[in-house]
Amino acid sequence: MAAFSVARRSRGLINGLKVSFRSSGQLKHGAVAAPLLQTSLHRDSRWYSAGHLSVKERIEAKRRAALAGGGQARIDAQHKRGKLTARERIDLLLDTDSFVETDMFVEHRCSDFGMEQDKNKVTHLPEVIFYFFNIIFCLCLFCFSQDFTVFGGSLSGAHAQKICKIMDQAMKVGAPVIGLNDSGGARIQEGVESLAGYADIFLRNVMASGVIPQISLIMGPCAGGAVYSPALTDFTFMVKDTSYLFITGPDVVKSVTNEDVTQEELGGAKTHTSVSGVAHHAFENDVDALLNLREFFTFLPLSNQDPAPIRECHDPSDRLVRSLETIVPLESTKAYDMLEIIKAIVDEKDFFEIMPNYAKNIVVGFARMNGRTVGIVGNQPKVASGCLDINSSVKGARFVRFCDAFNIPIITFVDVPGFLPGTAQEYGGIIRHGAKLLFAFAEATVPKITIITRKAYGGAYDVMSSKHLRGDVNYAWPTAEVAVMGAKGAVQIIFRGKDNQAEAEAEYVEKFANPFPAAVRGFVDDIIEPSTTRKLICSNLEVLARKKQVNPWKKHANIPL
Amino acid sequence: WGGLEVPLGGRVGKQSCCFRVKNVLVKLMINLLICFSSQTFDKILIANRGEIACRVIKTCKKMGIQTVAVHSDVDSSAVHVKMADEAVCVGSAPTSKSYLNMDAIMDAIRVTGAQAVHPGYGFLSENKDFAKRLAAEGVTFIGPDTHAILAMGDKIESKLIAKAAKVNTIPGFDGVVKTAEEAVKIAQDIGYPVMIKASAGGGGKGMRIAWNDEETREGFRFSSQEAESSFGDDRLLIEKYIDNPRHIEIQVLADKHGNALWLNERECSIQRRNQKVVEEAPSTFLDQDTRQAMGEQAVQLAKAVQYSSAGTVEFLVDSKKNFYFLEMNTRLQVEHPITECITGLDLVEQMIRVAKGYRLQHKQEDIPINGWAIESRIYAEDPYKSFGLPSIGRLSEYQEPLNLKNVSVRVDSGIEEGSDISIYYDPMISKLVTYGATRGEALARMEDALDNYVIRGVTHNISLLREIITHPRFISGDISTNFLPEVYPDGFKGHQLEAGKRRELLASAAALYVTVQLRSQKVLSPTPVERSHWELCVQLGEGCYAVEVVKSGNVYNVEVDGGTVEVSGQWNLASPLLPLSINGTQRMLQVNANTYTHNLGFFGVLSKLAAQLNSYMPEKVPEDTSSILRSPMPGTVVAMSVKPGDTVAEGQEICVIEAMKMQNSLTAVKQAKVKSVQCKPGETVGEGDLLVELE
């Protein structure tokens, strides 16, 4: 708390200094001048002994050095790589002048391998990261930003300590943590202290999971043990072309498995957002990423104690969406774009899709209904007919659990022909992975609204937030078909070896390819006109905001991992 | 009397609930009398789709006639189907299998018992076989008699008839062409430039202009192919091409008793690729004498072929007001609404009456020119690509400018929000017609209406239309059919902002950005602190402009580009239309982005800091477009002229894409070896799909 209040008091000072920092940025000599001054300080007074500089002057000198990061040369190098400095990122991410920095005076404690000299020579004072108590759109959060210009952003014991401190603060007040990662990895010179630092962060990531939203934005390299902190957070975003995530880099890969692979192929943004599913979104560059992160942040509640946020809404909640009347094609085999349905229904077509390039047969993301944040899950008929497979089940499950943890209502759009058959899926464990999505929907106690737009076949019908899994409101469009399977397959089983299959198929379609069988049993609450969907969801959410449902006490559930 | 019993009964039955009130009864009787006086048909089938089908159905409803729509399977929930009393599916999506499928349409007539057929324009409207088959079954064709269609449908014969009827015809007019070499010889005889087109084709379809032998050969090949695919008739016509002409046409209306009227002219000179874009009535160019001379010749021609129904005689008019007969369209024209606006006649109603055998209700001296009407054709096409290449898609948002609450705006459309603009049919979205006491008033209303037109989901040509109607040359009436290529020799590049307008745009963008940013703070829990002073950068084209905004209430004082602009407005950010006042002038702003967020710097607006830092961001390397050929529009590959390993010269044709019946030749932009071919003839390709890779 002490560091906190010091920082607060000196806020004016920071602002005053910013001006001098900027001018020194323009005059290259300014940067040279500062270290000279500090060197002389160091010669005379090893640590905090009284010297010829007053304490006030020393504070100023240290602050100036901290603001200069790794020095102008390294800042230029960072810019040349198309990356911003830690401070520039913070400036962009947060509301103007809204942040309060802590721990500006913390230093690393290593003196091996010439680190001491290095510390004195290059930067003298600052540790490698900055902590802030900050504000985005007047919402508070905690945030750290690793500075690649100082020791390559490598993680020292002190560095880790700063991150842990900020996370503890965040947990205390119940506010999200955003990490801007740009780090070469562990500070090898510090040895086990650095490893301990990682573990300390991991533990806090785990403790904070489900309590406060945690977001990682990877803005540079992130390798080795460092990758597990982003992996433990709720969302991992990456910057295209300048960020990498991998356990071991291309050189080690080459020596162990003899594979030739570039950094970009191994762990670039494209790989992780389309192949591995490790990252949730990739942005064009630092500026794009930070501005988008600001927008994304407005969807989230501050902690699991807060309800889903409600923003001022200009889109009428009773708006009829006429374009939906024709969106589902007449032929049930023809594809359409579920995103069009989602965008037409939510406020102002504003849909923040999570993992848009991974397991595209399911669409997940955040939107608002009458201003209130909702999580949207939808099968995507455009890709693989919208079937559920291993990747889409895992993608959906993780998203549903996030929403449930943070009181965000879930709206599910169903058009699913079933689970994807095949040896690849069975060997890969579709049973186990499919169960995750089933588990996540069943366990969720937030308001759950389901709309069956077309197919809801077989076990996949059960999984997709059905009435049977405590769906609060389940609607079907007139085009809905709730059945065990499609007509052709069903008839082949029921009438195996008989000739009147075409006739039987027609009968099956007549009986089952419509919403009635589900509606007469009360498995769907109503068959609605598509154009009224938005209106109904909005009014249902209003009522369901009062929903209180508690699962039986348990230490924790045992989701099939 | 006997023949009238059925429709009378129908009406009485429908309104029987009103009999309780006496004066309603009286009204009804008057209604019935009117009905009786011009009793026509009980049920009409409309053998068309889209806006024209809807247009015809509207008049039928007004006249108390039941309507039958025909449609292809993909059109089963189209607007014209919903509007009609009955609908029959006549086949699958391709027009040859549905709207041109005469067998199915004849079946539909039999099943529904329709007494007459209105063909609209295009499709079967000028098909003599269809008219014959209808006549054979005793069904009335709402249009001219078969012999008139026959006479005027053939470009060559029609000119001979016109000549005989003492109508001015184009010099150098000649006969049928069979081979490319014959085409070249004819062209040389006439003298370049010449125009080549399909004999059977109407409008600008299949029409190409050649300035030398090489272009004549190419024009011959394309025109004959198009003629074949569109009309199943590969005969061609070559004639002297009049440079700098105006396209002015005369609407005629004739009955079966030898009476004919001319309903004034329509100026249709604004064309792209020989298809009309903006039309107006009357023309700024004609004086009363020329108008009368043209009108009288048009009527002479109509009488010469015993024309009945509505028809259009097209003329080319040169700069000295000499006019030459071009062709006669024996159907209702797309642009007929502007004639209706200035004359007060309902042409569809007149056609129906004439088809029933009634005499014309009007005399020539009854036909007025009241005010001025302008029509803009709203197309789903990209105006930045040769003034409009077809675009397809789903209308995710669609709002006609009827919010103007102005009776002088008429929108003829056959689509609604959620409709598909498909590759199968014409990409026209609607016809936007404005009317005013003067041309200036009509133009001002058009500008307003275009600004208030909301179309999302497909690329549309509103930007081009707005540019045309506000262009000084158009406003002064100095136009010809070459207007677009002359005014935009390098193609349409969008509106070029002058400094004042640019400042206004920058200021509006900045003000809107501030509103969006402040709205993001309006989350229920904390109390937002409204920042009133903003330093921003607005990116517009290549430039980046520093902007300072001071907000007080709903007024934004924006310092930009060396001037101050006051923007005020209170916006509903969910609405596609954002009305604002700029320095006291009312303007309408539309934001085309799908959403206000998730784009780098909404609207090109960034905070000053973000703009500063953005300069450090690496530029993404764009794709090298010289070595790849992508489809410029969705369509079908009809020919592939190269195979992998071939060497192509710069400008050599690589393949031909057909979209909306237009064939487009795609050429190489450099000399290179063909690396790979990614499509086959007959394949459907989307916009931007890779067709051929060069090395």
Question: Do B152 and B80 belong to one domain?
Answer: no
Angle, CA B288 vertex, CA B283 and CA B293 arms, to 5°: 95
Nearest to B120 by CA among B463, B414, B493, B541: B414
Give the three-state DSSP class for A223.
strand
- Asked if the interface predicted TM-score (ipTM) of this complex is over 0.90, the answer is no
Looking at residue A128, its pLDDT comes to 40
Nearest to A6 by CA among A99, A69, A100: A100
Q: Does residue A103 share a domain with residue A243?
A: yes
Query: Distance from B333 to chain A by nearest Cα, in Å?
Result: 30
Per DSSP, A137 falls in state: T
Q: What is the pLDDT of residues B246-275, one digit of tens each?
A: 999 999 999 999 999 999 999 999 998 888
Distance from CA of B495 to the nearest CA of A (A): 27
Q: What is the pLDDT of residue B313?
A: 95
CB pairs under 8 A between A and B: 123
Which chain B residues have a beta carbon less than 8 Å from that of A344? 396
- Expressed as residue numbers, the domain containing A143 is 58-298
User: CATH code at B110?
Assistant: 3.40.50.20
Position B639 scores a pLDDT of: 85
Tell me what pLDDT residue A35 has.
Answer: 39
DSSP state of B96: G
**For the stretch A58-83, what's the b/e string if a residue is b when 16 or more beta carbons lie within 10 angstroms of its beta carbon?**
bbbbbbbbbbbbbbbebbeebbeebb
Q: CB distance A311–B519 less than 8 Å?
A: yes
Same domain, B151 and B47: no
Could you report the per-residue pLDDT of A308-354, keeping only the tens digit for each?
999 889 999 999 999 999 899 888 878 899 999 999 999 988 999 99
Structural domain includes residue A560: no
* Phi (first) and psi of residue A347, to 5 degrees: -60, 130
Model confidence band, residue B16 (pLDDT cutoffs 50, 70, 90): very low
Residue B153 has pLDDT above 60, yes or no: yes
Least reliable range by pLDDT among A127-141, A297-311, B296-310? A127-141
Tell which of B595, B602, B621 to mutate to test the A interface (max A CBs under 10 Å).
Answer: B595
Cis peptide before B193 (omega within 30 of 0): yes
pLDDT of residue B221: 82
| A345 CB-contact burial (10 Å; exposed 0-12 / middle 13-18 / buried 19+) | buried
Asked about A267 being catalytic, the answer comes back as: no
Which listed residue (A51, A225, A249, A277) is catalytic? Answer: A225
A369-405: b (≥16 Cβ within 10 Å) or e: bbbbbbbbbbbbbbbbbbbbbbbbbbbbbbbbbbbbb
Least confident of A48-52, B50-54, B289-293: A48-52
Judge whether residue B200 has pLDDT over 90. Answer: no
Mean pLDDT of A420-431: 93
Same domain, A293 and A418: no
Q: Which of B395, B529, B598 sits opposite A352 (nearest CB)?
A: B598
* Contact between A49 and A42 (Cβ < 8 Å): no
Identify the residue whose tokens are 């002389």: A40
Q: Are residues A71 and A121 in the same domain?
A: yes
Which chain A residues touch B575 with a CB distance below 8 Å?
314
Do strands B653-659 and B662-667 pair parallel, antiparallel, or not at all (unpaired)?
Answer: antiparallel
Decide if B526 and A138 are in contact by the 8 Å CB cutoff. Answer: yes
Claim to verify: residue A283 and residue A360 sit in the same structural domain: no
CB-CB neighbors (< 8 A) of B519 in chain A? 311-312, 314
Q: What's the CATH code of the domain at B591?
A: 3.30.700.30
Nearest beta carbon to residue A312 from set B395, B420, B519? B519
Candidates B522, B571, B577, B599: best to mutate against A (most CBs of A within 10 A) is B522
8 Å CB contact of A88 and B620: no
CB contact under 8 A, B572 and A310: no
Same domain (yes/no): A328, A371: yes
Question: B537 to chain A nearest CA, in Å?
Answer: 14
| Residues B77 and B210 occupy one common structural domain | no
Q: Is B276 found in the same domain as B181?
A: no
Q: A295-298 long-range contacts, Cβ below 8 Å, gap at least 24? A: A295/A352, A295/B520, A295/B597, A295/B598, A296/A215, A296/A235, A296/A237, A296/A352, A296/A366, A297/A136, A297/A137, A297/A139, A297/A141, A297/A176, A297/A178, A297/A215, A298/A136, A298/A137, A298/A139, A298/B520, A298/B523
Are B351 and B262 contained in the same domain? yes
Residue A550 binned pLDDT confidence (cut-offs 50, 70, 90): very high
Residue B562 domain-assigned? yes
Distance from CA of A137 to the nearest CA of B (A): 5
**Predicted confidence (pLDDT) per residue in B493-547, tens digit:** 888 878 888 888 888 888 888 888 888 777 755 555 677 888 888 877 777 888 8
- Under an 8 A CB cutoff, do B573 and A291 touch? no
Interface test with B, best of A18, A219, A292, A349 (most B CBs within 10 A): A349
Cross-chain residue pair B595–A291, CB shorter than 8 Å: no
Chain B partners within 8 Å of A312 (Cβ): 519, 522-523
Is A537 domain-assigned?
A: yes
Residue A85 resides in a domain: yes
Q: State which residue of chain A sits closest to B457, comparing Cα positions.
A: A340
B51, B279, B314, B327: the active-site residue: B327
Q: Residue A331: inside a domain, yes or no? A: yes
Tens of pLDDT along B556-572?
A: 999 988 889 999 988 88
Residue A352: list chain B partners with CB under 8 A. 597-598
Chain A residues in contact with B594 by the CB 8 A cut-off are 343, 349
**A241, pLDDT greater than 80:** yes
Task: Answer yes or no: are the C-beta atoms of A217 and A179 closer than 8 Å.
Answer: yes
pLDDT in tens, B274-287: 889 999 999 999 99
| Residues B126 and B236 both lie in one domain | no
* Same domain, yes or no: B541 and B680: no
Inspect the interface and report whether the beta carbons of B520 and A295 lie closer than 8 Å: yes
For residue A259, tell me if it sits in a domain.
yes
Comparing CB atoms, the residue among A82, A294, A316 nearest residue B617 is: A82
Q: What is the mean pLDDT of residues B147-165?
A: 87
Q: Is residue A2 part of a domain?
A: no
Last residue of a domain, one of B573, B594, B615: B615
Instruction: Answer yes or no: do A230 and A368 share one domain.
Output: no
Residues of A in contact with B576 (CB under 8 A): none
Question: Into how many domains does chain B fold?
Answer: 5
Residue B395 with chain A: CB contacts under 8 Å? 323
* Domain contains B416: no
Contact A306 B594 (CB under 8 A): no
Q: Nearest by CB to B77, from A311, A326, A351: name it.
A: A326
Instruction: Give yes or no: residues B47 and B137 share one domain.
Output: yes
| Contact present, B544 and B536 (Cβ < 8 Å) | no
Q: What is the pLDDT at residue A400? A: 97
A224 is catalytic: yes
Is the residue at B15 inside a domain?
no
- CATH code of residue A447: 3.90.226.10
CA-based nearest residue in chain B for residue A296: B598
- Using pLDDT thresholds of 50, 70 and 90, give the confidence band for residue A16: very low
Q: Find, in chain A, the residue whose alpha carbon is nearest to that of B521.
A: A137
Cβ A363 vs Cβ A339: under 8 Å? yes
The CA-to-CA distance between both ends of chain A, in Å, stands at 39
Least confident of A277-291, B148-162, B525-539, B669-683: B525-539
Examine the domain organization and report whether B101 and B184 are in the same domain.
no
Is B73 in Cβ contact with A311 (below 8 Å)?
Answer: no
CA distance B521 to chain A (A): 5
**Residue A337 shares a structural domain with residue A280:** no
Chain A hits for B616, CB-CB cut-off 8 Å, are 79, 82-84, 286
Per-residue pLDDT tens for A478-535?
A: 999 998 887 877 888 888 777 787 888 888 888 888 999 999 999 999 999 999 999 9
Please check the confidence at residue A539 and state whether its pLDDT lies above 70: yes
Which residues form the domain of B262?
143-170+246-370
pLDDT of B596 > 90? The answer is no
Average pLDDT on B629-651 reads: 83
pLDDT at B563: 87
B647 in the same domain as B504: no
Residue A195 belongs to a domain: yes
A248, A348: one domain: no
B18-47 pLDDT, tens per residue?
334 445 455 555 555 444 456 889 999 999
Binned at pLDDT 50, 70 and 90, residue A425 comes out as very high
| Active-site option among A153, A157, A184, A224 | A224
Same structural domain for residues B154 and B165?
yes
Pairing assessment for the beta strands B454-456 and B585-590 based on DSSP bridges: unpaired
Q: Tell me whether residue B527 is exposed, middle or buried, using C-beta atoms within 10 angstroms of its C-beta: 0 to 12, 13 to 18, 19 or more.
A: exposed
Same domain, B231 and B185: yes
Would you tell me how many other CB atoms lie within 10 Å of the CB of residue A304? Answer: 14
The overall average pLDDT reported for chain B is 84
Search chain B and give the residue with CA nearest A371: B523
Are A290 and A343 in the same domain?
no
Do A226 and A370 lie in a common domain?
no
Nearest CA in chain B to A281: B598
How distant, in Å, are the alpha carbons of A125, A169, B74, B85 from that of B55? 79, 68, 20, 14
Q: Do B616 and A295 touch (CB under 8 A)?
A: no
Q: Which of B186, B211, B240 is the last residue of a domain?
A: B240
Number of structural domains (chain A) is 2
- Asked whether the beta carbons of residue A313 and residue B574 sit closer than 8 angstroms, the reply is yes
CB contact under 8 A, A323 and B418: yes
Residues of B in contact with A242 (CB under 8 A): 618
Domain's final residue, options B370, B397, B422: B370
